[in-house]
Amino acid sequence: MKLKLRHLLVLALLIFALGLVFDLGATTSLAQCVMCRASLGNNSSFIRNFNIGVLVLLVPPVSIFCTIFIVAMRQRRSG
């Protein structure tokens, strides 16, 4: 059981890292709404930094959710 959980955690981290690499490697910002794109202008380096900032702000909630999920799964399996 412990080995399966470890494999699941490693797989989730690999998927997250792969998604992060693909997102940071994108040259255009396709996920921005029209208002964000208009306010940022045509400065591509600023748009890229804005996208990285959004990803940085996304990391804490995702890690908190994953931690709660792992703790809940361990509690469910142990008791």
Q: What is the distance, to the nearest Å, from the Cα of residue 15 to the centroid of all Cα atoms in its chain? A: 9
Q: Higher confidence at residue 52 or residue 21?
A: 52
pLDDT tens digits, one per residue of 36-71? 777 777 778 888 888 888 888 989 999 999 999 889
pLDDT of 20 over the 70 cut: yes
Q: The whole model's pTM is what?
A: 0.48
DSSP 8-60: HHHHHHHHHHHHHHHHHT-SS--S--HHHHHHHTT-HHHHHHHHHHHHHHHHH
Contacts of residue 55, Cβ cutoff 8 Å, sequence gap at least 6: 20, 23, 24
- Average pLDDT, integer, range 21-45: 69
pLDDT surpassing 90 at residue 15: no
DSSP summary character for residue 73: H
- At 8 the pLDDT is 79
